[in-house]
Amino acid sequence: MRIIVSGGGTGGHIYPALSIADKIKSENEGANVLYVGTKMGLESKIVPGSGYDFETVTVSGFQRKISFENMKRLIMFFRGIWESASIIRRFRPDIVIGTGGYVSGPVVFCAAMMKIPTVVHEQNAFPGMTNKFLSRFADKVLISFEDARKFFKSDRNVEFTGNPLRKEIIDANKSEARKKLGIPLDKKMVLSVGGSGGSRKINDAMLSVIGQFCNRDIAFVHATGNAYFEGFCKEFSDAGLKDYQMVVPYIDNMPDVLAACDVVICSAGAITLSEVTCLGKPAIVIPKAHTAENHQEYNARSIEENGAGVMILEKDITADLIAQNIFNIIMDEEKLNEMSNKSVQMGMPEAIDVIYSEIMRLKQLDEGI
């Protein structure tokens, strides 16, 4: 079995591609997987260390207005198609899988034109430009939020699968996690994290909210982000904090910390929210402004509309608003349980198995099995 996977630009596109590649390798002895990315993209740093062969094509995203720069990028896109065709002819894949990002555009498009079975995986509630374009040619479009379905012109080839998650997240257990972290089972716990790099606005609000947690003896872990940790500590004194009340620069044991908490305050990255719902955690979701196509707000809105959490826009963040929403959930056992159940209903811990089944079904159809 020979597979090409392509996705790049951000970890939100790269890690799902690697998860799919890992699943295919684990289920098919001798499977040959090639990852196609760009020389300058984040994938060029991540993928080679994962053990997969890596090749590159030339491509860049288009600006959202008519410009001379777009003419240059159009020429680059056609060059990317030519390079993709060369790679495909040489590698002879059975199937080509794209997980988004500009690089997957020429790779999946070229494969579709060459009559090779193609799959697109969309992580967000609002699909990216590349995947919306590719959906017209791909044999299968796999979505992670049901809300994404309405953004595709036809849903004849659209299947809901969810986002593939790390095994450590799927297997995480609340009581075991609390034992590891030294957090008593009888304490309510809040996790707050503003993405891997942290969030200044969330940090500013949490300076006050943490004081309220301490007054009510609520366990918490607040991750500031490495760049903000020193400044946060200058304004916040950790004197008097109990062992189960922690301010840290970064969380490197996220499966345990997420499993241990009762409520999470987080940004609205697709993988983050998939992990949160997989473990059934109610969330105060704060979508980052100015993300591509404002996709984080669509992700957050999906959580809120399904009853699994509350959305607060970055421009509206205040300590009082965060505290009000947290205490409304965490101090109301009925509401906490209801939101946890709604969160679990959105979760897809079996996503990677569903994705793999769809890929294999397409391959069998192509082979006439």
What residue numbers does the annotated binding site for UDP-N-acetyl-alpha-D-glucosamine cover? Answer: 10-12, 124, 166, 196, 251, 296
H-run or E-run covering 179: helix 174-181
**Which residues touch 55 (CB under 8 Å, ≥6 apart)?**
34, 35, 36, 37, 87
* Distance from the first to the final alpha carbon of the chain: 15
Q: Pick from 22, 52, 57: which is nearest to 37 by CA? A: 57
Residues paired with residue 193 on neighbouring β-strands, in sequence order: 223, 266
Dihedral over alpha carbons 305, 121, 280, 173 (to 10 degrees): -170
What gap in Å lies between CA 98 and CA 276, rounded to an integer? 24
What gap in Å lies between CA 234 and CA 228, rounded to an integer? 10
Q: Pick from 80, 79, 20: which is nearest to 50 by CA? A: 20
Q: Pick from 241, 239, 243, 245: which is nearest to 221 by CA? A: 245
What residue numbers does the annotated binding site cover? Answer: 10-12, 124, 166, 196, 251, 296
